[in-house]
Structures are given as C-alpha cells and as structure tokens.
Structure 1
Amino acid sequence: MPAPDPVPAPDPNPYSASMGTLHAADTAFRDLVDVALADPVGFRRDAAELFSDAAGDDARTVAVRWALGAALRELGDLPGARRELDAAAQGAQRLGALGTAALVRSSLALVLLHLGETEAALATTALAAEHLTGPDAARNEMQRGLLLQRLGRLDEAVDAYGRALPILREADDVAAEARLLGNRGVVHAYLGDLTAAAGDLRRSLALARELGTTPGIAIALQNLAFVAARRGEIPPALALLEQAQDLLDDEQFATSAMRACIALDRADVLADAGLLEEALEVAADAAEVLAAGDDRTNAAEAELQLARTLLLAHHHTAAADHARRAGGAFRAARRDGWELQARYVTLAAASAAEGHVEVSTAAALADDLQAGGWHLEARSARLLVAEQALRAGDPALAGRVLDDVLTDDVDGDLPALARAQHCYATALVQAASGRRADAELAVARGVDVLHRSRLTFGSAELRAHAARHTVDLVRLGVRLALEDGRPDRALCALDRVRAADVAVAPRPPGDPVLADLLAELRRLERAERDAARGGGDPRPYREARARAERRVRDRARTTSHAVDRHAVASVAQPADATLDVDRLRQTLDGRVLVAYAELDARLHQLTVHPSGVRHRVLGPAAEVRDAVALMRSAVRRLARGRASAASMAAADASVARSARDLAGRLGLDRLDAPLVIVPCGALDGLPWSTLTIGRSVPTVVPSAAAWLAATDGCARPGTPDLLVAGPELPGADAEVAALAVEHPATTALTGPHATVAAVGAALADATTAHVAAHGVYRTDNPLFSCLRLADGALNVYDLEKLSAVPRTLVLSSCDAATTATVAGDAVLGLGSALLRLGVGTLIAPVLEIPDTAAVALMVDLHRRLANGTTAASALAASIEAADDAEPAHRAVRHAFVVLGDGGGV
C-alpha cells in the first residue's frame, strides 16, 4: 500500500504569531499550521491554552482550529480533524474570509476521503476551487488529484497533477512539489510506467531530504520500495522499507496506521518472495490495526492486500471473503477502480477453488481493468481468461487471449513473477494445442526467468523460498515429459530448479552492519545462557535475542547481487539444457542415481541406469513421510538408551523393519549398486545409512546436475588438516585428541581457542576438516541452525561470510545434516548451506547423537578417508566395523549420512 500525501515542510514559528485581521493573516495562519505539523503531539497538548488565549478573537480561533485539525489528521484522529477543520471553515466563512475558508476546505477534503466520504471530498475541493487562485488553486488541484488517485481514476489524477505542477514550481513551493511528485509517482507505477514513477519518486525524496521532513522522507522511501517491488527487485524493496520503518521508529508522532501501511507493503514484497506464511501474518496484523481506526480508505486497501496474499497462499475461501468485504467498502465509497481489483481477486479465488468461472465474466473484468489503467492487474485477469478458456475446451480462444496480452513486455519491465506466469499460461495453451515441444520450451523459459531473478538475492533464505513460484511450471514440465513417455526429460525438468538452487552460490557482499548484528546476537546468546546458569532470569535476554535474530534476518534479506541478465542460460535453450543425461549415465560408472518427486500426492521415482532413465509411480507421499518419522523415532529411542534391554531390542527391530519397509516404498529393494539419491521433501530427515546397499551408504545430493558438476576434478578426501572441539560437549575433546594422535600434523582448535572467528578463518584454509561441537537445527528458521563454539553460535549467516570452505567436512554434531525442503524443492539448513558454499562432501548426522558415542566411529572413518577411500564406502565400512554392543553406538551408526559428491568417483 504505497503511502500518499507527505506533509509539507514545517516552518517553526511561535504560537503567538501576530495575525491581525483574518484577511491579512493567511501567512501567519499557515505558519501556525506548519508549527502544528512539525509537532502535532505538542500542539494537541497545548491546544486548550491556545483556545483560551484566542478567546474573543474569532480570527485567531479560526487559525487555532485549522492548525489543530491538521495536527489531529497527522495523529490519525480523523473524526477530530474533521470536527476542527469543519468548524474552522465555517468560522472563516462567517467572517467573510472566503479564501481562507477555501484553504481549510482543501485540507478537509483529504480527511473526508479517508473517512470514506468520497463524494463529499470531491465536492469540498470543487467548492474550495471557486475561491482560490494561483498557487493556492494549484495546491487544491493537487489535492483533487490525490482524491482521484485514491478513487482509482488514474488518468484523471495524472492530468490534475500535471496542471498543478508548473504553477507550484513557479511559486517555488518545494513542499507541495515534493508531495505532488510522490503521489504522481505512485500513479505512474499503477499505470505500469515504472521509469516515470521512479523519476518522480527520486525527485520527491530529494526534495523531502532538502526540507528535512522525516515523514516525507519515510513516505518517499516507502513509495520507491513499491516501485522496486513492481519491478520484482525484492532485496532493494525490502531495504527501502527498512529505511522507512527506521525513520518512523525515530519519529515521535508516527502513528500505528503509518507503520501499518509500511507493513502492508512489506507483506506484499514478502509474498512476491515466496515467504507466504510470514506475509500473511504481517498483512493480517496490519489490516487489523487499520480496521480498528477511522481511516476507511486505507482499511479497505488493507483488506484487499490481505485477500491477495491469501490467494497466493491458496487459502481460496478466505481470500474470496476478504476480497468481497473490500469490494463492498470500495463500492460504498465509489472507488470504482479499486472495486475492480477486489472483483478480480474474488474471481481468481473462485477459479482456484471451484475450477470454473465464466469466460465472458473474466474477459469483461479484464477489459474494465485495462480501461481503468490497471495494466498489470488486467494482464493477470487475461491470464485467468486464457486458463478458463482451456478448461472450457477452447485452446484457440486461449491462444488469442494470450496474444492480446502485451507479449512484447514478457522480457521487458514486468516483474519476473508476471513474466513467469505468462510463460506458464503459454505452456498450457501450447500443450492443449498439441505443440508439446513448444510447451516444454515455455516451461523452461519460465523457470529461467525466475532463476535469473533469484540470482540477484543475496539471502539464501529468499532464494530458497522464491523457488515456490516455480512449482506449477516444474509440475507441468514433468507431466508433459511423463505423458510423452520420456522420463529422461522429466528428470531434466525436475532437476532444472533443483540445480538452480545450488549451482550458483554467490556469497553476500561484505556487510559490516550484518557482522555487528551477528556479534551482538552471540553476546545476547551468552548473556541468556549465563543468566540461566546463574539462577537469574533469562527471559529478557531471550526476548532481546529474538529481536536480534529478526534484525539479522531482515538485514540479510536486503542484500543483492549484481547479476548480468545475459550471464544465465538463454531462455531460448531447450528444457534439457541444464542436465546432460548421457554424460550423467557415463559418469555414474556403476552407480545408480535415484531422484524422487511428489506429484498428485504420490511419490514418483526416476532412476538413471547405464541403459537409460526409468520411471515408477510409488505409493502415497504421506505414507512415506509417516515411515520416515517412524524410522527417526526408532533411532532416537536407541540414542537415548535409557530403557530396558527389551525396549532397546524392540527399537532395534523397529529400525530393521522400517529399513525394509522404506527400501520397498522407495523402490530400492531391487537395487544392489551404490546409490546417489536426489530426495524430495517427503524424505527430509531420513537416516539413509540404515539403507546401506552395495557395500556403501547412499550419497545424498541436492540435484543430479549439481552432483555431475561436482565430480569434475573432484579429489577424494584425505588426512584432516583441521580439528575443532566445541564447548560443553562430553567427548568432543577426547574425539579431537584421538584424531590428533592419528593425524599429528593437523591444526587443532579446542577450548577457548575454538571461537567463531578462529574456526571460520581455519575452515577457509582447510581442505579436510572435522568439527565436534553441539549442533542445533532450527525449525523456525533453518539459517539460524548452528554449531556451538567457544564464544557462541556459528550459523549459516556466519558461514556465508567465509572466503572458502573445506573440500571435505565431517561434523559429529547433532542434526548437522538436517535440512528442510520448502515449496519448490529448495533446501534450507546447515548442511545444504555448506554444499552451496562449496563443500564437496559432508558427512554428518541427521539426528541427535549421544555425546560420547561417536569417537570410535569418527577415528575409524578418518583412517579410511586418509587412505583414499570414498566417503560413501568409508562410512559404510566404518559402520560395519563399529562396536554395536551399546544402543548409543548403534544409534550413531544409523544417524550419519553422506551429502555431496561422495568423495570421489
């Protein structure tokens, strides 16, 4: 929700300005209004005294009422503002000061608009115009432009602004010019002219900074964020909104409504970034704040924004309900342009929920949106028309509709999401028309458009969640390939987005602010821990830590990478350009690659053999998830090891049964070759070592293309050159000491020397490293998953600052390999981050492990790695040779997995 109407620049003057007669006092009146706008809280506090001083002086009373009305408007008290401004206008009218009354009415019009009385607002500006000339008339015309803008009459608003601007510039009214350009910039953005919008808004920001008006600066930044978001520039948009919010946080009279409007824009950007759950929470909170106030204009727009976010999150019934409520509010206020948008959301929700709406209804709505200047919204409506035409069995009509959409803009100024939606609709039409090869090209084009956009995100979190926008495209590509009996092309379509998530891992640019925030986060973690141990109250530190984590997260989201749009594969390349299946088959060299996908709630398997690629439809994905959970539960029972011998025997039997069951459910029971596994979300957390096949444990990789790329010139693991022991982990020092005996030339960091900075620097120089430290997996935000070191947590944000990482890394830390797959098959967690940053082979557990039970296994594992054995074979052999007398040792055997290239081919 871009923000309208920044306040004019204050010109501080004492309340006691001499006003003389009303006709001679316009300047002093305006000075008093400026004083009120500069400090509305103070003016409201002192108003009673000012009215007392003005007793018996009607002219002065009018002035105080006008200024108080302006102050109350800024503070969000719209009924109070209306009362005072209306009284001031009537008072001026009684005194025969028609010009002053007109100026007050011009201010009153905006209050009436926000109260939902749009006809009265327009009538008030028209009445004011009868008695104003020159710059005053221009300011009133500017106010009229704002009314038209909020009514959705965009072209009329641009015309009104165009008439007012030259006069205001000639009068050197910098404050009014800043307001006008800020508002006109938003209209240009609505109309789709983002270049003109950015030009107006940058000039508005410069003028606001020249004037020193904090609210004006904040609103200009907010509106520039709106334009950046319309371009699909997510990190810059978030950065601008953060700057605007910081300014308002320091502004004493910033209202909750002002903050809510910024929050709504932030929700919009988060939704575009794929962070739908967070976007819904932010939008709902902001809408609740605005609904509780008197601002009907912004409250209705907030309701519409919430409906849009619900639609993106597939909450179709709720989206339709909120859109209908917003539409009712818009109709009541005669805001026809906005009511059209509410109708579109209602229609789109009905289409998604019920699968059918009348083509003619959708087409008429698209035409109305286009005629009203809502071009981006009209485009979305036309895509809906095409979709409904396909459902009605008329691909020819769907094709004509798509031709009418501005296809020449598909690679122009539209945001990546809009371009990808066009590609998806095009693919559907081409598939329905029998042009399946063209449909696959359109799918690949859409995925690449989104991939190029994701590459600009400095935040791994944003890159991962933005992958959810590829889901429909990827599913369509896989369906087309499978329907054609081409499992190799299905693998390519599936792997295209998975490879994009890991193939390029640009590190965020150096950010001293983020570094300071991370240091502060570690300080708070230590303080919280010390308070808990010392018998103090850790809650204040816990709350401060949560706030610090949000600051780290938000700061990381604002970082961008400068990526040449031509640096990524051309959108004209075929759908299998990312993955060379023939080369993959040759490179596997006796291995079998098995990729999994979830389609229509069932698990699908794509297996790459020397003879080709095979496809199997497996069972329901939900049953596989349940089986994985059962396996994890059984291994955890062993790890705890505190139950009776009979209970431990039952846990062992449960692990064995689960392993057999999962091998069958995953189609692995007939395979005896070493496996390379590309899992999907249903398999998150599976302890793959329980499925040892062909004398090695499966190697788990994020994508087939990533595995293939990693095998180029990959070296097998060798002798560890870095050993790290974290604090408060029984067995860590013993583990590192035992490894140091076997590998005496190795650098060891233990005790107070194992700090975040020291370990980070050592990791950057190491080739093969081993870290024994507490591991923490964070389900709420996997990027805060961490290793506990001497001075605090080493999390993913810290790892991203490293200049290099080891080729091989062993983490004997609880949950160190645990990841979460988000929509779009992107993966988040400590392990996935390390692979993205360049670790070739990661050996780590996907479960909690007993603190002292891993020492012997780790010593044996490194002995085999140092002898040149591949990671998968070394881990399998170490597991086979390990002591299994105690349940804890058996749990450790099951918990470790190999991620990456497997340590050599």
Structure 2
Amino acid sequence: MRAVEQRLLARHAACLEQVELGRLPEAGRMAGRALAAARRAGAVEVAAKLHLTLAWVELDRGRPDSSTRHLDAALPGLTGNDLARANCLRGLHLCLHAEPRAAVTRLTAAIRELRRCGDQWWLANALVGRGIARAYALRPAAADADFRAARTVLLAIGERDRAAMCLHNRGFVAMVAGDLPTALRHYEDAAREGLAAVRRPEALIDRAEALLAAGLVGEAREVLAPAITLLDRCDRGSRMPDAVLLAARCALADNDFPAARALAERAARIFRAQRRDPWPSNAVALRARWATGERPRAGRAAAECDRAGRPEDAAELRLAAGLPVPRRGGTARLRALSLLDRARRAPDRRRAAAACRAGLALVDPHTWPGTELRSIALGHALAHGDARAVLRWSRVEAPAAAPVSGRLAERLRSARGRGDQDRVVQLEREIRRLSLAAPRTAPPAAVPSGTTLLAFTIHNGHLIAVSVVDGRCRLHRLPPVDHHVHALRLAVETGHEDAVRASADALDALLPPTGDGPVTITGGPPGLPWAALPSYRGRPVSLGAAPPDADPPRTHAWIAGPDLVHADREVADLRRAHGGTVLAGRAATVEAALRAMDGVDVAHLAAHGHLRGDQPLFSSLQLAGGPLHGHDLDRLARPPRIVVLSACDSGLAPAFLRRGAKAVVASTLTVPDDRAPALMAAFHDGLRSGLGPAAALADAQVRHGDRRFSCFGPG
C-alpha cells in the first residue's frame, strides 16, 4: 500500500509543477486521474490532498462551485498543515466574492497555522491572499507589508518568479492608494526581475489598468489584448471577466461606446456563469448607453456596485447619470470622484474651488477626473474675472526624469537600424511606461521682480492669457491665433520680409501688452517665433519659466553631428573662442556625447533634428552611429545648465528641461545651415560677457536679424 501511495504522491507533485507553470487544464486532468486512482486504492489521505489541489485549480479557472465541492470533499481527510491550506483556500474564495474583511480574518488564522507548521510555500500563498484582501479593504499599508513578507518567504525558498509577482502586487497596492508613479515603478521592477507574463497574465491586466489610469488608453488596450489571449489559453477563468471588463473600460475611455457596451455585456455573462456579481459590468454598459444619448435608470446599478464592493464603478456611473455621489472615504480616486461631484454641484465659487483643490491633491491633473476638476476651478475663476486665480489654476506639475537604461536605449537604436518596426513599437511602449513611472516635479516658481509674465491657457476651446506687468495682474480673453501663427511661421521660413512684417503686426495686435524688459511666457501658442513680433524684438524672452542666473559659463561641450556642412567649423570655432571639449565626425557618438555633456555649464549641439510630434521622448538629434533620443538624456547624472540646439526643430527642448537643464536655446523652424555659425558665435559671446541665455539670444538675434530661435526655461 505504501508503494502505491508513494506513486500517487509523485503524480500529485507533478500536478503541482503544472500548476506552477500556469498549465491549469493539464494540472486538472492529471489531478483528476490521480484522484480516481487514489479512490480505487483506498488512499484516503492522498485523495484529500488531490481534492485540495483540484480546489485550488478550479478556483483559478473561475469555477468556484466546483472548487467548493472539492474543498468540502477534502476536509474530512485533512490534518495539520493540509487543513491550514484548506483554510487559506476558504479565504481566497471570500476574496473572489468581494468579502475582503471576512477573507482577512480567515487568512490571518491560516497564516498562524502555516507558520506553526513551517509550510513556507502555502504561507506565501496566504500572505499574498491577505495582501489582496487588505488592498480591497482599503488598508494599503497593511497590504504592502503582507506582500513584502510574502516576497521574503519566496526568495528564501528559491521561488524567484513568484517573488517578482509580490513586487508586482506592491504596485497593485500603490494603484489602489492612488500613487500611479510608484505602481508603475513596481511593475517595471517586477518585469526586470523576470516576472513571466506568459504564466501570470494577471500582471498584464494590472499594468493595463495603470496605463488606463494614466490616460494612455491605446497603450492599455495593446497590453490587455495578449493578456486576454493568455488567460484563454491557460484557462485562467477567474481573471477573465476582470480582463474583459477592463477592455470595456478602455473602449469607454476611447469613446468607442458600442464596443464598450458589447464588452461589458460579455463580462457580465462570464461573471454570472461564475456565480459572481455582474453589476460592475452592468455599470459600464449603462455608462456607454448614457454616452450615446440613452437615459436608462442607473440608481439600482450604482447601489448594487456599492453592495458588491465596487464603489468606484458606482461613483462613475452616478457621475455619468447626474446622480449625487455619496461622500465617503476609500481610495484616492474614489474620494476624488466624490469631490468632483461636490465641485459640480457647489452653489458658489468658494466651495467649488475648495472641492477642486482637495480633489487635485489626490489625482493626476493631466488625466480625468483631474482634468475636469481643474476645468471647473478655471471656469469659476474666469467667470469672476480673477486673473490671479486663473494663473494659479493654470499651473500643473511636469514629469521628471524617467529611469531609462542605456541598454534599453541601445536596443531601440538597434531595432531602428534593422528596420524591425514591431520591436521598435514594443520598446517605445516600454520607454513610455518608464516615463510615466517618473515622479512629478513642482511647477516653476514665480518670476523675479522686474520680469513680465505672460501665461496662456485654454478653457473650453477658448484661448485665455494672464499678464503680470509691474506687479499688476490682468486677464485677457483672446481670439483664435492659430492662423496668424501659421502665417508668421511660413513667412519667416520663406524669408519674405513684407509678409513677415504684415503677419507679425497682425498677431502682435491680438496679444496683451507686456511693457518693456525681460518677459517670461508660459503655455504660449506652440512654434510661435516670438523674436519676429515687434513688441518682443530685442527683448529677453524665456519660454516656460524665469531665465537662470547670468553666471558666465566655465565649462563647455561642443558636439557636431554628421551631414551638416558648417557644423564641424561651427563647433571648432566655438572651441577656439571658449575652450572645452569638442566632438565631431565619428567621435560624436551618443555615448560620447552623453559623457561630454554630463555636468558642464553649456552643451552646444549642431546636428540634424527629427521632431516626433508631441513626443519629446522619441524626438532626436542625428549623431555618429545613430540618433540621440529624448529618453537618452535621462542617463545624465547632472544635466548641462544651458543647452544650445543649433539645429532645425528637434523637439528635444522639453526633454532637456525635464531632465533639469535651466535653459534651452532651440529653433522652432528650419535653420539655414550657413547662417547658424555667426548667430551662435554672437550668442556665446553674450553668455561670456555675463548676459543670461534669453538676453544673449535677443542681442544676437537683433545683430544678425534671425528670428528662428527661442529660449526655453524650466517646467
């Protein structure tokens, strides 16, 4: 008999290996055959173990009734640590059915027993389960502690893949707490530690949810599609309805309302088949119907979502249907949704602004509901003609540097060189995710006295400006200027002076007066050559923030890219005049350029630029051996204080500023190759004489008649 039991236990161990590999159908078949053999042999204890394993497999496959039957069948034959494992499974059942507090109680008891028995593998399972339950119970600190403890246990027994999943789960907790950058950092760290998405497609679901929260709907849908395919292939039914529901949310955010409704209804069918609550799916379907002009009743669905432990679904449905959102605690996003409803319904400006301020402290102002909170506050400030409040609500934080490795950047350059577009898309997606994981930096400080401020913002499609001249703040509602900006750019590009004067005069007349002296401009019309406007010609103009201190630079890096006729001469002449390091020809590689720029006062790059729309991460300058992309700059330990991009519009100014440069001189138009050297020589002479970057550029432009360059500041 003992030999039979040993063979059955060996088959059980092989079944557990299949579970760990994510092959649930095969694990179920193996366990079922072994269970039948154990029954024939009268091996009661082995049969109980196999029932317990089948309960685990069936729960993961989304078959809770079958899992419960196996668990009930196992209990009479279980003792010791196997009984503690059964209690752990009972707790996981409660998690699945949205009963997190009961799950925590059950799992805490299981954890005590598993520790006493020394069952490390199942102890980690119970800690992970309790961490998930605590996250759903809105106890993020306790949940994070459970995942850290589970990770320590798993590393000790050599389960590195599952330990990486614990790190990923810490990202899930950060998501629940409303800390999106931390969530994304944990997800990326888990991937670097070798988390195998093929075996754990739930990791892709969590990542897609984070991308959706960050407003990257297309990215979320791209990550979610393979997750659904993998869940189907692995027969991981327990997560399938959550994945389909998330796909419905993505479609809703993408204004694809028919797809959102169809996906939500599909998710509801799967939830019902698993005897789980379908109301979250019903809520998304109802939101899609409201978005297309239907007016179905939403109150019951919202109440059922609350009852099912999905208060965010309930709040979003109530907001869509115009129903009051209860004031409550919970996740940061849930509190923000409640504050959004309060801001919408506020009877006066003071209470609306207070709700907006509190809500924006909880969520990213660049994504909904943060965008709507900011819009409501701006609307009230505009309605009251409060210029200072408009200026205050217009300022938002900017992303800081992203932790993009040199190896990842080289893989992207290599893929581009091979023309492997699929790999390029994949690597760019990874870099974009890393960028999202970067923390936000505070908006720039107020400009110093004596500097005029002109701040632009758009509200409900209308261009608004606030000017601060001699300490006096004024509000200006402007007509559309895009046509005038386009006409002026075209005139400057073609060099038709009469057209330049006519376009510049027409646009200048539409903009607010800003007096004389230095001027700082934020949020202005993109691509506008300010130096061409009569009111700004010869004035130090800084785009983005106040110009940095005018300390004469001491260290320089001069870098020339290939295929520019005058670039080598330009950097050689500047090196003779000001000293420093020069890179040209084959020596001007990306790696050499990054080393030369790190920590210098001035980095001057003369190279062909490639603008990638509004994506500074992937805009570039052409150097020897390949392009220098915006994301490459995140490897600089100390960015240059002043950067000069003697090139056509490369789109890299925001990337240098995000990394911490104090000023970037760059063109927003095509730069004639033969005209740049003289202008740049005059600009650097001005810096050496003690002028700030904006003043040095203004002086050089007046002397050489150039209008193509602008000075950008931090933020």
**TM interval, short-chain normalised:** 0.7 to 0.9
Q: Does 1:730 align with 2:598?
A: no
1:308 deviates by: 3.4
Q: Which residue of 1 aligns with 2:66?
A: 120
- Does the aligned pair in 1 maintain the 2:15–2:30 contact within 8 Å? no
Q: Which residue of 1 aligns with 2:344?
A: 428
Counterpart CA distance in 2 for 1:448 and 1:141 is: 41
The TM-score normalised by the length of structure 1 is 0.68
Counterpart CA distance in 1 for 2:258 and 2:485 is: 33
- Does the aligned pair in 1 maintain the 2:640–2:661 contact within 8 Å? yes
- Does the aligned pair in 2 maintain the 1:419–1:446 contact within 8 Å? yes
1:101 deviates by: 3.5
2:465 is matched by which residue type in structure 1? Q
Q: Which residue of 2 aligns with 1:456?
A: none
2:269 is matched by which residue type in structure 1? G
**Against the structure 1 CA distance between its residues 212 and 328, is the aligned structure 2 distance closer, same or farther, given a 3 Å change threshold?**
same
**Against the structure 1 CA distance between its residues 729 and 349, is the aligned structure 2 distance closer, same or farther, given a 3 Å change threshold?**
same
Query: What is the number of residues matched between the two proteins?
Result: 714
Of 773, 784, 788 in structure 1, the residue corresponding to residue 607 of structure 2 is: 773
Higher mean displacement: 297-306 or 211-220 = 211-220
Q: Does 1:282 align with 2:261?
A: no
Q: Does 1:223 align with 2:169?
A: yes
Of 510, 522, 526 in structure 2, the residue corresponding to residue 684 of structure 1 is: 526
Of 325, 328, 332 in structure 1, the residue corresponding to residue 273 of structure 2 is: 332
SS of equivalent residue, structure 1 residue 783: coil
SS of equivalent residue, structure 1 residue 844: strand
**Against the structure 1 CA distance between its residues 116 and 731, is the aligned structure 2 distance closer, same or farther, given a 3 Å change threshold?**
same
Q: Which residue of 2 aligns with 1:491?
A: 391
Of 192, 201, 219 in structure 1, the residue corresponding to residue 147 of structure 2 is: 201
Unaligned runs of 5+ in 2: none
Q: Which residue of 1 aligns with 2:708?
A: 895
Q: Which residue of 1 aligns with 2:357?
A: 444
Q: Which residue of 1 aligns with 2:474?
A: 614
Unaligned runs of 5+ in 1: 1-18, 41-69, 452-464, 530-537, 570-577, 639-647, 819-829, 884-892
**Against the structure 1 CA distance between its residues 422 and 874, is the aligned structure 2 distance closer, same or farther, given a 3 Å change threshold?**
same
Counterpart CA distance in 2 for 1:437 and 1:264 is: 40
Could you list the per-position Cα deviations for residues 630-677 of structure 1 after superposition, in whole angstroms to 9, with x for gaps in the alignment? Answer: 6656666x4xxxxxxxxx86xx7776665466556xx22877756846
**Against the structure 1 CA distance between its residues 300 and 200, is the aligned structure 2 distance closer, same or farther, given a 3 Å change threshold?**
same
Counterpart CA distance in 2 for 1:552 and 1:330 is: 35
SS of equivalent residue, structure 1 residue 335: coil
Of 859, 865, 881 in structure 1, the residue corresponding to residue 681 of structure 2 is: 859
SS of equivalent residue, structure 2 residue 617: helix
Q: Does 1:180 align with 2:2?
A: no
- Does the aligned pair in 2 maintain the 1:594–1:675 contact within 8 Å? no
- Residue correspondence of structure 1 range 623-662 to structure 2 within 5 A: 624-625=481-482, 628=485, 638=494, 659=504, 662=507
1:381 is matched by which residue type in structure 2? A
Could you list the per-position Cα deviations for residues 103-160 of structure 1 after superposition, in whole angstroms to 9, with x for gaps in the alignment? Answer: 3333333444455443333233223334444443443343343334323343444454
- Does the aligned pair in 2 maintain the 1:631–1:655 contact within 8 Å? yes
2:138 is matched by which residue type in structure 1? G
Counterpart CA distance in 1 for 2:572 and 2:427 is: 36
Q: Which residue of 2 aligns with 1:56?
A: none
1:785 is matched by which residue type in structure 2? S
**RCO (CA 8 Å, sep 6+): is it higher in 1 or 2?**
1
Counterpart CA distance in 1 for 2:405 and 2:217 is: 25
Could you list the per-position Cα deviations for residues 573-630 of structure 1 after superposition, in whole angstroms to 9, with x for gaps in the alignment? Answer: xxxxx976xx87x523xx4x3322221122223333448433343346xxx5566556
SS of equivalent residue, structure 1 residue 232: coil
1:494 deviates by: 1.0
SS of equivalent residue, structure 1 residue 140: helix
SS of equivalent residue, structure 1 residue 297: coil
1:769 deviates by: 4.8
- Does the aligned pair in 1 maintain the 2:529–2:708 contact within 8 Å? yes
Could you list the per-position Cα deviations for residues 341-392 of structure 1 after superposition, in whole angstroms to 9, with x for gaps in the alignment? Answer: 32343455556665977574366235413xxxx3xx326635764x579x57
Higher mean displacement: 484-493 or 316-325 = 316-325
Q: Which residue of 2 aligns with 1:539?
A: 419
1:282 deviates by: 1.2
Q: Does 1:844 align with 2:652?
A: no
Could you list the per-position Cα deviations for residues 428-447 of structure 1 after superposition, in whole angstroms to 9, with x for gaps in the alignment? Answer: 34xx233x224323333443
Q: Which residue of 1 aligns with 2:378?
A: 478
Counterpart CA distance in 2 for 1:241 and 1:751 is: 40
Counterpart CA distance in 1 for 2:609 and 2:31 is: 63
1:343 is matched by which residue type in structure 2? N
- Does the aligned pair in 1 maintain the 2:665–2:712 contact within 8 Å? yes
SS of equivalent residue, structure 1 residue 813: coil
Higher mean displacement: 223-232 or 127-136 = 127-136
Of 32, 55, 62 in structure 1, the residue corresponding to residue 11 of structure 2 is: 32
Q: Which residue of 2 aligns with 1:831?
A: 653
Could you list the per-position Cα deviations for residues 674-709 of structure 1 after superposition, in whole angstroms to 9, with x for gaps in the alignment? Answer: 68464548x33333344342433682522xxx43xx
Could you list the per-position Cα deviations for residues 700-751 of structure 1 after superposition, in whole angstroms to 9, with x for gaps in the alignment? Answer: 522xxx43xx57xx3277799554333332210122344456x365654444
- Does the aligned pair in 2 maintain the 1:675–1:693 contact within 8 Å? no
- Does the aligned pair in 1 maintain the 2:35–2:47 contact within 8 Å? yes
Higher mean displacement: 118-127 or 483-492 = 118-127
**Against the structure 1 CA distance between its residues 129 and 559, is the aligned structure 2 distance closer, same or farther, given a 3 Å change threshold?**
same
Of 584, 594, 598 in structure 1, the residue corresponding to residue 458 of structure 2 is: 598
- Does the aligned pair in 1 maintain the 2:315–2:338 contact within 8 Å? no
Counterpart CA distance in 1 for 2:501 and 2:516 is: 20
**Against the structure 1 CA distance between its residues 635 and 105, is the aligned structure 2 distance closer, same or farther, given a 3 Å change threshold?**
farther
Higher mean displacement: 276-285 or 484-493 = 276-285
SS of equivalent residue, structure 1 residue 365: helix
- Does the aligned pair in 2 maintain the 1:674–1:696 contact within 8 Å? no
1:208 deviates by: 2.0
- Residue correspondence of structure 1 range 715-726 to structure 2 within 5 A: 715=550, 722-726=557-561
**Against the structure 1 CA distance between its residues 368 and 626, is the aligned structure 2 distance closer, same or farther, given a 3 Å change threshold?**
farther
SS of equivalent residue, structure 1 residue 296: coil
**Against the structure 1 CA distance between its residues 492 and 355, is the aligned structure 2 distance closer, same or farther, given a 3 Å change threshold?**
farther
1:303 deviates by: 0.8
1:766 deviates by: 4.3
**Against the structure 1 CA distance between its residues 120 and 751, is the aligned structure 2 distance closer, same or farther, given a 3 Å change threshold?**
closer
**Against the structure 1 CA distance between its residues 661 and 314, is the aligned structure 2 distance closer, same or farther, given a 3 Å change threshold?**
farther
Q: Which residue of 2 aligns with 1:13?
A: none
2:223 is matched by which residue type in structure 1? V
Q: Which residue of 2 aligns with 1:501?
A: 398
**Against the structure 1 CA distance between its residues 325 and 678, is the aligned structure 2 distance closer, same or farther, given a 3 Å change threshold?**
farther
Percent of aligned pairs with the same amino acid? 31
- Does the aligned pair in 1 maintain the 2:476–2:512 contact within 8 Å? no
